[in-house]
Structure 1
Amino acid sequence: MSWTTRLRILYQTFFLFVFLWLLARLAASDPRDLPFGAFFHSDPLAAVAVVFSSATLPGALVWGTALLLCTIVFGRVFCGWVCPLGTLQQLASWILSPRSRRESLAVNRYRRWYAVKYYLLAALLLAAAAGTLQTGLLDPLSTLARGLASAVWPLLPGRRPVPGGWIAGALVLAILLASRWIPRLFCRAFCPLGALLGVFARFALFRISRRQEACTTCNLCAFACQGADEPLGQHRVAECHVCLNCTAACPEGALAYRWLATTPPAEAPDLSRRYLIGSALGGLVAAPLLQVAGGGRSVANARLLRPPGARAESEFLARCIKCSLCQQACPTGALQPAIGQAGVEGFWTPVLVPRRGWCEFACTRCGEVCPTGAIQPLEAARKTGYDGREPVKIGTAFVDRGRCLPWGMQIPCIVCEEMCPTHPKAVWVELVQETTRDGRRVALQRPWVEPQRCVGCGICENRCPVGEEAAIRVLSVGETRDPLNRILLPAG
């Protein structure tokens, strides 16, 4: 094993460990100010897509543009040396399918359908330009983080399964198992981030160079190739992961990674103009359909509760990359991935589910870790209203008198009033004396909600002892992010 291969493996191991460690510490509610979103801040696909969808570039995503500049100089080094999902695929390929030299040569050939990733990139970016951001569905960083948050961490002792988490886990598992047949198949054929980097890598200043007079056509470079970029022929620079396996494998020293290599590259990516235009048009057409499908933006959903600090729904969806960092940061497990609550467009975006958990009164973790500003960072004093302004409202609690124990069943209960964290309490009780059916006198404390004081944290709904559907439920009515979402219709 050459020193370059050892160095690359060391880098891959380091970045994979850091990625997993940061997510694990985030899920464990580590109070330290760690760079939990560092990988996502460096994601150029997220940066470009958010610019397309919201016409803004959040400051934290500037590092993503820096990675594009790095790609223009060094090529797709992120894919070969940094990407944690790429590293896991490489490991899966090594474990699941030890191949002979002949088999490796066969699977490492470039196939024209590997260009699918460029068509996906075109469709996703044009959909983003039309106002629907869906790059997070296939972004490798979001895909891996979401799979871990929704399918792996919930398996640990003391944690509960995430509804629909198996979908995110199955996607990651399928990506890894695909390496059984073709190494890093997702990277080669379906990764939109790899496609974006490939577009810029086409102009890389450092690239693989081949001295034809020294080459003996032994095929060892193709045998060791990680990205199916065919270093033996006209090198496909846009597909090269810069793993440097080929330079290490060449016994004649015919291959080298050089500045301004003179070897003419292949015309790549090899795209069909018809398919490219069709993909772009498909993205444009899909955008408005996704926005209305499944009762999305077109239908007000009173049970759609977004995290505190979330932007107005259209702005939120134009920035959310479905990375699940907020979900992992939530200390009570209140934030869950949306399966159907937010329509098709909002699939896998975060929603607050009070029966699963509640929003801690002074907690602002979700906004602190959001890499795109879909959830705006809040100071605790701003969220709670202790800065003199109105507190940030997620929604408003409403009592269902037919299910409430004191109201509908003459059974004493004051759980919701006891748990209410606001001061003065938004939930207050009225002391009444009632006669039961058998003639007994019973003292009851019936709960009422003062809407102006309720912040919609959901702890009353979470702790309500009534089974299945709680007797007090939080609706999005009155939420800070939408001034039109009010219980009373405007006059006139």
Structure 2
Amino acid sequence: MKFPRPPRISQLFFLLLFLILFLMTEYRGSDRIVAAVNGFFRADPLTAVSSMLAVKGYLPLLFPGLLVLALSLILGRFFCGWICPLGTLLDLATGRIGKLGPVRALQGSAKYWLLLPLLFASLFGLNLAGLFDPIAILLRALTFFFHPLLGETARGGWKSLYGLIEERRDFLDPGYHLLRDYLLPFRETLYPLAFLSAFLFFLVLFLERYEKRCWCRRLCPLGTLLGLVSRFGPLRRVPSKLCPDCRACREHCPTSFDRELLQMDECILCLQCALNCPSQRVRFDFRGMRPEAGPVMERRVLLGGLLGGFVLARTFRFREPEAKARMLRPPGVREEGEFLEKCVRCGECMKVCLRSALYPAFLQAGPEALYTPVLVPRLGYCEYNCTLCGQVCPTGAIPDLAVEAKKREVIGKAVFDKNHCLPFAKRVDCIVCEEHCPIPQKAIRSELVELTGFQGEKLQVKQPYVVSELCNGCGICENVCPLEAKSAIEVFAVKDRTPLPPPADAPSAPASQPPGGAPPDPYAGGNG
């Protein structure tokens, strides 16, 4: 029996840890998530470098990523060969996939043409690195596609099984509860970019059709960044070339021997060459001679990456004004630009959203905001006492706030559409939005007004209005509005997201008054 070697043991350990943390990044009845998969992003050098370039400053949460980058200068691309969960999946699958040979278009400088524009775009304020980060690709595929599919399949299967065994189904309850509490997603949600997320994952897997670790050696921006650093490190393979009487290393190495000379910027430290050397000649030494190597990249690649990053940063920021008005971000986000610079597009906040309010943005947010979280009140609302999204955000794009502070964070402001709202359009009572408003002082109130009915009769109707000084834009009013399709009250984004004052400091009588009194609240109006 062949026992796993140390690199494979490490890979399997971190893959198992990644999956366990993924399942723990979930609402399981507790208001606090003690461990989350965001730790992998905080140890991701690509996330650290791109985010800090974008914000032009140091982010303490991402210090582990800088530490891994520093260790890569000494140990080489150990992260790729010992830790990366996507790389582990590729190693487990590659033996079952026939090979067609390297793709000429992906050889040479192709990986730099992906990495450099991403880094320079971050320098110019547009952080798109998360779209191609290997950990983000895997996590989005799990979050948006595989995990919901598992939940849908498992729940449907159990329902069918219950129908077959009828009164004996109680014997299966412990098994279902075990799956529900530890494995299945706590809610059923369909995400709009699920198939795109799965497509990107399967595309990475499909590249194994051409050569081992094709994605890792030819495209992966994280691997390319680590390779740039490790190229100048002290760790060397001895001998640095293929032995003329053996040449077995070429067959065992998954990344580095497409040429006679081992390329340390492509070596993932899997140690396959050393572990399988029939003559026991191969070793890795910190005192090894630096092998002959050409320039890191051509000058045109560097200049092209700079120009590409500049063009990306200037052309990917168009957003239609109407769509911008409905761009509701999670609680605690104050500045849209700062949020986009930090967001790694991992999907963790959407996974834990208690009321299914957060979804990945697509074209409505413009190309720069692809996969960033958007609150859609008609589908869900921000739970008043929930802080889960801030707890799992790896970069602090969504701050981790105390419950009382989060309650006062402004997401947007609610506005009535009087052409649809029943008390205005139909002249019938409806105070559903007021009843559900979670603000203790009620950000939605109603006043009794006398109206003339459609038949000329006199009516008394309760008409609602919004107290903008108290509204935090949680979206529950829009979510529970009884009208079908379009809601009669909608939450719109606002530029000023200054938190609401604490209840003790709030005025006893809000400045805005109901229609018919003092100057009306601008958010309480509509298309009346």
TM range (shorter): 0.7 to 0.9
Q: Secondary structure at the match of 1:383?
A: helix
Q: Secondary structure at the match of 2:463?
A: strand
Question: Which residue matches 1:175?
Answer: 204
Query: Per the alignment, do residues 358 and 287 of structure 1 end up closer, same or farther by CA in structure 2, a change over 3 Å counting?
Result: same
Q: Secondary structure at the match of 1:174?
A: helix
User: Per-residue displacement from partner, 1:253-297 (whole Å, max 9, x unpaired)?
Assistant: 1211222223x4352675222133112211112211112x2438x
Query: Per the alignment, do residues 448 and 255 of structure 1 end up closer, same or farther by CA in structure 2, a change over 3 Å counting?
Result: same
Work out whether residues 235 and 266 of structure 1, in 8 Å CA contact, stay in contact via their aligned partners in 2: no
Work out whether residues 12 and 84 of structure 1, in 8 Å CA contact, stay in contact via their aligned partners in 2: yes
1:440-451 correspondence to structure 2 within 5 Å: 444-451=461-468
Question: Which residue matches 2:195?
Answer: 166
**Aligned amino acid, residue 46 of structure 1:** T
1:87-102 correspondence to structure 2 within 5 Å: 87-97=88-98
CA distance, structure 2, for counterparts of residue 487 and residue 429 of structure 1:
16
Q: What TM-score do the two structures reach when normalised by structure 2?
A: 0.81
Q: How far did residue 185 of structure 1 move?
A: 1.6
1:142 and 2:136 matched: yes
Query: Per the alignment, do residues 58 and 117 of structure 1 end up closer, same or farther by CA in structure 2, a change over 3 Å counting?
Result: same
Q: 1:313 aligns with which of 336, 342, 356?
A: 336
Q: 1:260 aligns with which of 271, 275, 287?
A: 287
Query: Per the alignment, do residues 211 and 363 of structure 1 end up closer, same or farther by CA in structure 2, a change over 3 Å counting?
Result: closer
CA distance, structure 2, for counterparts of residue 300 and residue 482 of structure 1:
24
CA distance, structure 2, for counterparts of residue 143 and residue 79 of structure 1:
15
1:450-465 correspondence to structure 2 within 5 Å: 450-465=467-482
Question: Which residue matches 2:350?
Answer: 327
Query: Per the alignment, do residues 173 and 28 of structure 1 end up closer, same or farther by CA in structure 2, a change over 3 Å counting?
Result: farther
Question: Which residue matches 1:396?
Answer: 413
Query: Per the alignment, do residues 191 and 311 of structure 1 end up closer, same or farther by CA in structure 2, a change over 3 Å counting?
Result: farther
Q: Secondary structure at the match of 1:257?
A: strand
CA distance, structure 2, for counterparts of residue 404 and residue 307 of structure 1:
26
Query: Per the alignment, do residues 478 and 69 of structure 1 end up closer, same or farther by CA in structure 2, a change over 3 Å counting?
Result: closer
CA distance, structure 1, for counterparts of residue 468 and residue 36 of structure 2:
37
User: Per-residue displacement from partner, 1:423-468 (whole Å, max 9, x unpaired)?
Assistant: 1111112345667556888764332211111110001111112111
Work out whether residues 43 and 64 of structure 1, in 8 Å CA contact, stay in contact via their aligned partners in 2: yes
Q: Secondary structure at the match of 2:441?
A: coil
Q: How far did residue 411 of structure 1 move?
A: 4.3
Q: Secondary structure at the match of 2:342?
A: coil
Structure 1 residue runs without a partner (length 5+): 385-390
Question: Which residue matches 2:160?
Answer: none
CA distance, structure 2, for counterparts of residue 482 and residue 179 of structure 1:
50
**Aligned amino acid, residue 138 of structure 1:** F
Work out whether residues 25 and 33 of structure 2, in 8 Å CA contact, stay in contact via their aligned partners in 1: no
1:371 and 2:397 matched: no
CA distance, structure 1, for counterparts of residue 279 and residue 22 of structure 2:
44
1:47-196 correspondence to structure 2 within 5 Å: 47-97=48-98, 113-155=107-149, 156-157=151-152, 158-196=187-225
Q: 2:247 aligns with which of 198, 216, 219?
A: 219
Work out whether residues 207 and 258 of structure 1, in 8 Å CA contact, stay in contact via their aligned partners in 2: yes
Structure 2 residue runs without a partner (length 5+): 153-186, 501-520, 524-528
CA distance, structure 2, for counterparts of residue 60 and residue 268 of structure 1:
36
Query: Per the alignment, do residues 478 and 46 of structure 1 end up closer, same or farther by CA in structure 2, a change over 3 Å counting?
Result: closer
Work out whether residues 33 and 388 of structure 2, in 8 Å CA contact, stay in contact via their aligned partners in 1: no
Query: Per the alignment, do residues 482 and 34 of structure 1 end up closer, same or farther by CA in structure 2, a change over 3 Å counting?
Result: closer
CA distance, structure 2, for counterparts of residue 2 and residue 162 of structure 1:
42
Q: How far did residue 28 of structure 1 move?
A: 3.7
User: Per-residue displacement from partner, 1:205-230 (whole Å, max 9, x unpaired)?
Assistant: 33321287x93543321111111345
Q: What TM-score do the two structures reach when normalised by structure 1?
A: 0.87
Q: How far did residue 482 of structure 1 move?
A: 10
**Aligned amino acid, residue 391 of structure 2:** E
Aligned-pair identity (%): 38
Query: Per the alignment, do residues 87 and 268 of structure 1 end up closer, same or farther by CA in structure 2, a change over 3 Å counting?
Result: farther
Q: Secondary structure at the match of 1:223?
A: helix
Work out whether residues 332 and 358 of structure 1, in 8 Å CA contact, stay in contact via their aligned partners in 2: yes
What root-mean-square deviation, in Å, do the aligned CA atoms of Structure 1 and Structure 2 show? 2.8
Q: Secondary structure at the match of 2:420?
A: coil
Question: Which residue matches 1:204?
Answer: 233
Q: How far did residue 164 of structure 1 move?
A: 2.3
CA distance, structure 1, for counterparts of residue 141 and residue 498 of structure 2:
29
Q: 1:383 aligns with which of 384, 395, 406?
A: 406
Q: How far did residue 478 of structure 1 move?
A: 6.2
